[in-house]
Structure 1
């Protein structure tokens, strides 16, 4: 009887320990809590595997970007299409993770930035515009993500934008159709500009300076000394700016790139407006948090007001 009673007391003690652990919110003390769930490797979730494939496709598109517009556009477009697929996979397999959300955003920002960097070299006259677009895109999304985590909590998604803060951002992030159209046409505009860089005449004629006939004759035929600078002009470096522009010039028809650019330009402009609004709203949200934090810390400190003695009137 004493042995039975001891076993019962031990079992009761274990149950009390488990109940106390649950009441304190510490599931790690209950050995059966982890045993109920299988081991999961977040890095091998289906949405994250799709994200890795997007990175591989993006790197491949960058490799073909200087001289192979069709191959590059195909790889880059597939990478962008997979951006929509990973979201569906996350919901279907119930594998939405913070790592996947950050991976998706970082991949989007990096691929778009790399394409715009190429455009700034293809159209140097508009380089400052492209540089501004990259800066706005990165700053807007970083501020928005940081404000969401700092003010909304670590479990808050950057897409959970309250309508009271901005109805436009709420529509942009909560309506999947609106989000897809804006992101897709924004990328389409930059792809169209990329294709136009292969369908225009020589972009920088100043890079290709013709060699005067008398210089060639004097340098190659009338003297035994071969001028190395002349050789460099005749046999141009295949990686030089002039050689790349010669390879790109008049490589494809410009009709469809102009059509795609014209159709997608209004949406691209709207996307930049959304980026500006997102940057402003995130800045104001962080400023509100700063004011609350300063008040909680008793700042600014109230200094005692001293009344200066009135000066005699002299009468």
Structure 2
């Protein structure tokens, strides 16, 4: 390998990561440079107020999962509080000037995990629609991961994933920069899945086992062996029968489901737009790198 080829090989990782190269070697961003005691404060980032709220959201989510198979009211209450706190951590970050990279990642990861857990339950409760719920999980994770990666590799380590220009996508710009729009879409998206979860325990249309002819006393029904246990037969469909026996009224869940469905659909459309735009942004960087490589070879 000659000297020029060696330089190009050393510069390639820098171009792929979006980082500048110096003397043929990639230069890491300031946040990745070796630090000494004078380069950082002695603050405990993990104990910042917005991050503490993030930990509370995780605890509430775990508690909701604990009650999810058998106690829809408790589960929905805890899950809803966890989702509502998503707006509070941003307020706290601005109020106390404690916006951090760790907090942003914690918030996004918590959002993805909580929604995924609920969709997994819906997929198991309604096997006929499991592919739909699996597709929604995949779209949500892929869209946000590619968008985050494109922002870091193309926009730089200091650029927020919410900094989307109107030229790149006006709908994503409105979605990420307008706090009211962002809260509305996220809240109604979660509300739709919570309402659908409640319908699994209340609506015979969604769950035919709730029909009087298919009650717990029917031959095809599976009742728990010991109803006093918190998780009777947790690995079978019969785990939900104790909650279904105490049937909920389906009126409110149906209203919430129908009312939130349009915004939920728009949210999935935004996920698709985000996935496509981020992929094209990465492709732009690839084309620029390939053009530089060709010019160096021709030069």
2:219 counterpart (210, 217, 242): 210
Which residue does 1:60 correspond to in 2?
63
Alignment of 1:83-122 (within 5 A): 83-122=86-125
Which residue does 1:238 correspond to in 2?
233
Alignment of 1:36-47 (within 5 A): 39-47=42-50
What is the distance in 2 between the residues matched to 1:257 and 1:292? 51
Relative distance call for 1:142 and 1:46 in structure 2 (3 A) is same
Relative distance call for 1:30 and 1:281 in structure 2 (3 A) is closer
Backbone CA RMSD of aligned residues:
2.9
Which residue does 2:273 correspond to in 1?
277
Q: Shift of the alpha carbon at 1:233? A: 8.9
Q: Shift of the alpha carbon at 1:294? A: 1.2
User: Which structure has the greater CA radius of gyration?
Assistant: 1
What is the distance in 2 between the residues matched to 1:198 and 1:278? 34
**8 Å contact from structure 2 (residues 50, 89) kept in 1:** yes
TM-score relative to the length of structure 1: 0.74
Partner of 2:151, secondary structure, is: helix
Which residue does 1:259 correspond to in 2?
255
Partner of 2:294, secondary structure, is: coil
Partner of 2:168, secondary structure, is: coil
2:168 counterpart (157, 165, 168): 165
Q: Shift of the alpha carbon at 1:235? A: 4.7
What is the distance in 1 between the residues matched to 2:195 and 2:64? 15
TM-score relative to the length of structure 2: 0.78
**8 Å contact from structure 1 (residues 47, 90) kept in 2:** yes
Relative distance call for 1:117 and 1:203 in structure 2 (3 A) is farther
Relative distance call for 1:70 and 1:38 in structure 2 (3 A) is same
**8 Å contact from structure 1 (residues 182, 267) kept in 2:** yes
Q: Shift of the alpha carbon at 1:29? A: 11
Q: Deviations over 1:68-100 (max 9, x none)?
A: 011111110110011000001111111111111
Structure 2, unmatched stretches of 5+, are 1-29, 227-231
Which residue does 2:186 correspond to in 1?
183
Query: Size of the alignment, in residue pairs?
Result: 254
**8 Å contact from structure 2 (residues 223, 238) kept in 1:** no
Structure 1, unmatched stretches of 5+, are 1-24, 212-231, 303-315
What is the distance in 1 between the residues matched to 2:240 and 2:224? 16
Partner of 1:155, secondary structure, is: coil
1:197 counterpart (191, 196, 200): 200
Q: Deviations over 1:133-160 (max 9, x none)?
A: 0000000000100000000000000000
Relative distance call for 1:297 and 1:47 in structure 2 (3 A) is same
Q: Shift of the alpha carbon at 1:241? A: 2.3
Q: Shift of the alpha carbon at 1:252? A: 0.5
Which residue does 2:288 correspond to in 1?
292
**8 Å contact from structure 2 (residues 224, 242) kept in 1:** no
Partner of 2:280, secondary structure, is: helix
Which residue does 1:313 correspond to in 2?
none
What is the distance in 2 between the residues matched to 1:124 and 1:100? 36
What is the distance in 2 between the residues matched to 1:256 and 1:152? 45
